[in-house]
Chains A and B, each alone.
Chain A
């Protein structure tokens, strides 16, 4: 078909059908078989929790090859850190992983404090621990609801959000937002907590213990649910080590590695909590690790509330516009998904020379193509859910 000037504006149907797919679909190496289907678990999909695209080669229901394609939400956080000054990067950390933003904020602020050798007052440390653990509980609750939603039960999602709303309310009074928290500052925290925060948090901890029993009755003990999870997505410890997986993925494969115990930061060595470990290596192990982590977080919060000291909530002598000497430092925290790392290199100016963010979901996702071979599509969805990925954190 041609327009008035004679230029071709449509192609033949045959040529159009031959150039289907994009760069990734065309370069996707399939196996030698000819009777397989190449499917895109596309960037828009109800259960990939973000814009994750997975190219699958399937034979009926079985996956022969899987390849994740990333980068759909790359927002250049590391480059932005190079043009912002040290305190100006704080709101960006809240948007990297919107489910556990306080852990990312802690990684960045902790790196700056380690670089500047800034002392943080005791009360601020306790507030940081309490808020970070509350955030971890809310992150695990959302993971739980979304995971069960992928498996087909739509109700536990709402029960989880009922609890999550209470956490959001508690944190909103202090921090001022419900999702993307920008709370930690160099030398402490932005605002102080009051008695109402303490009482509400204690009430929430008591309520959560009852709710966990209900979750166990509704979901964890459920026959159908256990059949969807047990034996699915076995990730042996060697695979975890190869790809650098951390967090519940690693702890569900038998290795008790938690940054709060292995490289203790802040005041975590004062608290008595256990690291849940299961050696079944399957999706059920990872699930149980996260449910136990909620219990451990409640324990930590209660201990911290009991021992909360009085004092300043921020070190007023900390420089508000730091200009550190050339040095580099690495600071790691335990996020809901694994080990979050911030490697900060300064060259003496007001902005860092380089900020490298280590994202736990990136390492956790890398083992997906190896683990998903030979599984059914429904199992692949179950494995993705049990890895607890947040795609913006992978793409940063």
Chain B
């Protein structure tokens, strides 16, 4: 039968396995991201202290490596004596929950609208794209403020705000992919075979769009976390007693000179999470780039 052609991977996981050889795993960023996920999942078990445990006597303890610090509070304490490390770990959970929900909602809504717009074209496409244009011309923070003013600040508000802000991004990109995908011969042949629109969507269009969607989603994690932090910083998002990195930044605003670790370390956590998710997203995109298929 066929002489052995190169074993190209099929399916997403097999795809990863098959192509790791070509690009190499993103060891550093992957591990960092993994740490954040672990912190989010098992936070309560690994945090050395209660994130909300007040202890005014232990307020403003510097990180362990500085003079005056102690190993009990590795990263120091804030103005209320709460352990910074424990709060960072607790904050990871909130950040990832928000990111997960927001990305799933905006991704699903955006992708669906993008697919409909791209596939049907004509009036439908024109109307949807104008809506997208209109929404994208409103600064996202202003939009967030408007929505948050209506809803009371909470975790769900943050998720809703982010979903509403970001769906347009997915819609645009997915629409672009669909525009070229729907011209493929195999889509035309599926129509000739008698397949209905729904079948074409789920058998031919969606799987070929999935890769792009996944890459987009990973690249968005960082953006979403920063956005959430901004909202919480402004008081529109997470409220005490819940912990969020943005909230930590807000609380520590007044103590920058006195206790640098209370604001810098949560900031570093945000930066590292954002950076590692971007790097993993880049790696995913490069790995799935069809031009890398040979050689």
Does B associate with A?
Answer: no
Residues in A lying within 8 Å of B, measured CB to CB: none
Residues in B lying within 8 Å of A, measured CB to CB: none
